[in-house]
Chain A
Amino acid sequence: MTTVAPAKTASRLDHQPGGGRPTARKSPYPYWFLVPGGLIFTIFFLVPSVMAFYFSLTRWTLFDQEFIGLDNYVQFFREPALASGLWHTIVYAAVTSGLKVVLGMALAVLLTGPILGRGFMRSVAFFPVLVSTIGVGLTFQVLMHPTKGVINQALDLIGITGPAWLVDPDWALLSVALVDVWQGAGLATVIYMAGILSIPGEYFEAAKVDGAGPWQRFRHVTLPLSKPAGVSVIILSLIGGMRKFDLIWAMTKGGPGFTSDVMASVVYKQYQAGFYGLSTAGNVVLFLLVIVIVLPLFWFFNRREDAR
């Protein structure tokens, strides 16, 4: 069965930027065409990035600055309240990314299948993506109120005592992650749908002729051939999850205590307290964390694809 997936088709479906080999082709533009773009890139992207690295090594206020070497980084990793933010970030990114992959795939199979009102259903699945994250956060903060919230009142009706979602230290991070999944699954669904719809119909027909049931068709045709879409979903949701700030800030502000603090909210709090150097160092740590986790994953997925 697996032989129906020739490597060529898979790589043609690969829309990953930067996934290919470096091209030796000559640019169609002369060098002076690059000057405006290069200037903008240098002034607005390169210089601030390099400056951020420098300022993460200083203790600075708006009035003066002092070079202190790696002290900010030492502080970051030594203080339990800051270090726990690092761990929460990884948990949060893994949970949201994992659920988005599973839910997105399930919804995509449903919404590409023969169901009633497909166009409308597709819009409904995508709708939460369009709503402002802060709005979603504040809305769910009301819905998840332990006693006055609709969610727990509904659970009460069927005899379940719901947890105190956002104010229970064991649940707070997970509750925010669940809302994030609710909001972001639509995007994963759309990417998966694009992947599934680009699979030529002949494969499904051939599988049917060979006597494959629905589960086998899913397992041996849809799943392997929509893998490039899956890689996009994983990478995008992982990066998004690690950088998440707005939703967490709107819902819990990192609380109760530090139990739902992630890197981005920790960085923001240090900035608020006037620890500008420390918060810049936190940003650098976040940047490195994203690279350390995402790059190897990216290579891993692409290598698997080439080898297949």
Chain B
Amino acid sequence: MRLVTALAAGTLSLALSACSAGSLGSSDDEGGGKTEITFLTNNDPSNVKVAEAVIAAFEAKNTDVDVKLDTRPQGSEGDNLVKTRLATGDMADVFEYNSGSLLQAIAPQTNLTPVTGEAWVGDLDPTFKQVVSAGTDVYGSPWGAIVGGGIFYNKPLYTKLGLQAPKTWAEFMANNAKIKAAGVAPVEQTYSETWTSQILVLADFHNVSAAQPDFAGKYTNNQAKFATTPQALAGFQHLEELKKAGYWNDDYASAKYNEGLNAVAVGKAGHYPMITFGVPALDTAAPDNVNDVGFFALPGDDAAKNGVTLWEPSGIYIPKSTEGGKLTAAKRFQAFIASPEGCAANASAAPVGGPFAVKTCKLPDTVAPAVKDLSAYVDAGAASPALEFLSPIKGPALEQITVEVGSGIRGATDGAKLYDEDVKKQAQQLGIKGW
């Protein structure tokens, strides 16, 4: 009986998987001569809204193509799903996935269709082109905008206390002291969602590369460490310093991301270290106060080198398993996303968190103040890509380590050393030489 059940279950699962692969293959001829392609993206509600708007705009111009939207979870669960579907040759015809270090983990040269020769590739922002390339080939078009990491601040509070956006860490600490004296929590932290704890370290990378332009390369080759490079260690030290000074909000250990956004928007906190992709989320966290939030780059030691760390958007890729008519349609969809019409469709669906990675796209006039602040840095050329776009290595335990340093459980140097171990593990996993 058990054997029969097991066999039945086995056959059923085989039949199911065969069924889904089969229906993908046969749908070519369905829908009155239309080519049907599937687009896989993550299930974040505002992302889905953007995807729907972009698909609608594309289908209006390309009536012979039918794009079906498919969603996956975010974070590492979604990562595993993408990797599994690629490894089994069962990937959607077009899919959205990270650029930079995480792209290298899905082996683009074996799994993805190169698009180096396409016309739109010339319009790409050079730094973005770099993070969707492997070897000499380009593989993706951008999904969404370039965002900057730094500090959200409450503008009415700054006006009330007569403060200026700081350019150095010392100025920042002086502002914090004044904010604390006014009875407001100077810096918001939200450790209930651990990823938010990394910003003070990650967004500090512009200061690291301003002081040591070759850090990323040395780091990849196992020649530079966080614990032994003073500028890189600074990010961890800032966390320790702010915690010791008592500058966090009282509920930092249990607060959530949306509470943090709300706090800085309504003036319960003076600052919130965050990436500008939080701007669309501000729209839900504090809809009446979006215009009260400003943005400045993470201050470093040298005011002259003050600048912002940028995160490139994720990419739109086509797997090698997409062929024939579907491949042509998929390439047209990919090109549309990298065109001004694609950007416009994107901006119509949700607020934009920063400039587009396509040179021919313009930001709408009605962007939030924080995005205008970010654009000022980008226009002035005071910006560098985040480390995870210059090096394939990012340790996965950074968020736990920064929570420990920011909560006073572990010292800054100790935390940086532990992160170096974490980085080593990742480098070995990726098979990078010299580790």
Q: B-contacting residues of A (Cβ < 8 Å)? A: 36-37, 39-40, 44, 59, 61-63, 66, 75, 79-81, 145-147, 164, 166-169, 253-259, 269, 272-275, 278
Query: CA separation between A135 and B369, bound complex, in Å?
Result: 41
Q: Which of B49-57, B267-275, B397-405 is the interface stretch?
A: B397-405
Whether A255 lies near B425 (C-beta < 8 A) is no
Contact residues, B357-404 vs A (CB, 8 A): 396-397, 400-401, 403-404
Query: CA separation between A169 and B191, bound complex, in Å?
Result: 12
Query: CA separation between A134 and B409, bound complex, in Å?
Result: 27
Chain B residues with CB under 8 Å of A36's CB are 2-3
Query: CA separation between A164 and B400, bound complex, in Å?
Result: 18
**Which B-chain residue is minimally distant from A276 (CB atoms)?**
B429
Whether A44 lies near B421 (C-beta < 8 A) is no
**Which A-chain residue is minimally distant from B83 (CB atoms)?**
A62
The 6 A-B pairs at the shortest CB distance, nearest first, are namely A257-B404, A167-B253, A273-B396, A272-B76, A62-B87, A36-B3
Whether A66 lies near B431 (C-beta < 8 A) is yes
16 contacts between A and B (CB under 8 A): A36-B2, A37-B2, A40-B6, A62-B83, A62-B84, A63-B87, A81-B401, A146-B251, A167-B253, A168-B253, A255-B403, A272-B396, A273-B76, A273-B396, A273-B397, A275-B425
Chain A residues with CB under 8 Å of B16's CB are none
Within 8 Å by CB of A257, from B105, B192, B407, lies B407
Asked if B305 is at the interface (CB within 8 A of a chain A CB), the reply is: no
A207, chain B: closest CB distance, angstroms? 48
A106, chain B: closest CB distance, angstroms? 33
Chain A residues with CB under 8 Å of B209's CB are none
Whether B396 lies near A81 (C-beta < 8 A) is no
A81, chain B: closest CB distance, angstroms? 6
Asked if B110 is at the interface (CB within 8 A of a chain A CB), the reply is: yes
Chain B residues with CB under 8 Å of A169's CB are 407, 409
**Which B-chain residue is minimally distant from A167 (CB atoms)?**
B253
Query: CA separation between A228 and B17, bound complex, in Å?
Result: 49
Within 8 Å by CB of A164, from B86, B253, B422, B431, lies B253
Whether A80 lies near B418 (C-beta < 8 A) is yes
Query: CA separation between A259 and B404, bound complex, in Å?
Result: 9
The interface on chain B, measured as residues whose beta carbon lies within 8 A of the other chain's beta carbons, has a size of 37
**Which B-chain residue is minimally distant from A258 (CB atoms)?**
B400
Query: CA separation between A56 and B400, bound complex, in Å?
Result: 25
Asked if B254 is at the interface (CB within 8 A of a chain A CB), the reply is: yes
Within 8 Å by CB of A147, from B84, B251, B396, lies B251
Q: Is the interface of B mostly helix, strand, loop or mixed?
A: helix
Whether B431 lies near A40 (C-beta < 8 A) is no
Whether B409 lies near A79 (C-beta < 8 A) is no
Asked if B222 is at the interface (CB within 8 A of a chain A CB), the reply is: no
Query: CA separation between A269 and B399, bound complex, in Å?
Result: 12
Whether A81 lies near B429 (C-beta < 8 A) is no
Chain B residues with CB under 8 Å of A146's CB are 251, 253-254
B249, chain A: closest CB distance, angstroms? 12
Whether B2 lies near A81 (C-beta < 8 A) is no
For B1-14 the 0/1 string (1 means CB < 8 A from A) is 01100100000000
B257, chain A: closest CB distance, angstroms? 15
Query: CA separation between A166 and B253, bound complex, in Å?
Result: 9
Whether A256 lies near B2 (C-beta < 8 A) is no
A159, chain B: closest CB distance, angstroms? 20
B186, chain A: closest CB distance, angstroms? 20
Whether B409 lies near A40 (C-beta < 8 A) is no
With contacts A36-B3, A259-B409 known, is A269 near B396, CB below 8 A?
yes
Whether B421 lies near A79 (C-beta < 8 A) is yes
Contact residues, B175-216 vs A (CB, 8 A): 191-192, 194
Chain B residues with CB under 8 Å of A66's CB are 431
Query: CA separation between A256 and B192, bound complex, in Å?
Result: 8
Within 8 Å by CB of A63, from B2, B110, B397, lies B110
Chain A residues with CB under 8 Å of B251's CB are 146-147
Contact residues, B88-105 vs A (CB, 8 A): 105
Within 8 Å by CB of A274, from B79, B401, B409, lies B79
Q: A61-B83, A167-B253 are in contact. List 10 more A-B contacts (CB 8 A).
A: A40-B3, A59-B431, A63-B87, A81-B400, A169-B407, A255-B194, A257-B401, A257-B410, A269-B396, A274-B105
**Which A-chain residue is minimally distant from B191 (CB atoms)?**
A256
Chain B residues with CB under 8 Å of A164's CB are 253-254
Within 8 Å by CB of B253, from A80, A254, A256, lies A256
For B94-120 the 0/1 string (1 means CB < 8 A from A) is 000000000001010010000000000
Query: CA separation between A283 and B258, bound complex, in Å?
Result: 36
Chain B residues with CB under 8 Å of A44's CB are 6
For B71-82 the 0/1 string (1 means CB < 8 A from A) is 000001101100
Query: CA separation between A36 and B400, bound complex, in Å?
Result: 48
Whether B2 lies near A255 (C-beta < 8 A) is no
**Which A-chain residue is minimally distant from B404 (CB atoms)?**
A257
**Which A-chain residue is minimally distant from B79 (CB atoms)?**
A274
B6, chain A: closest CB distance, angstroms? 6
Contact residues, B203-247 vs A (CB, 8 A): none
Query: CA separation between A59 and B79, bound complex, in Å?
Result: 18
Asked if B426 is at the interface (CB within 8 A of a chain A CB), the reply is: yes
Query: CA separation between A251 and B2, bound complex, in Å?
Result: 37
Asked if B428 is at the interface (CB within 8 A of a chain A CB), the reply is: yes
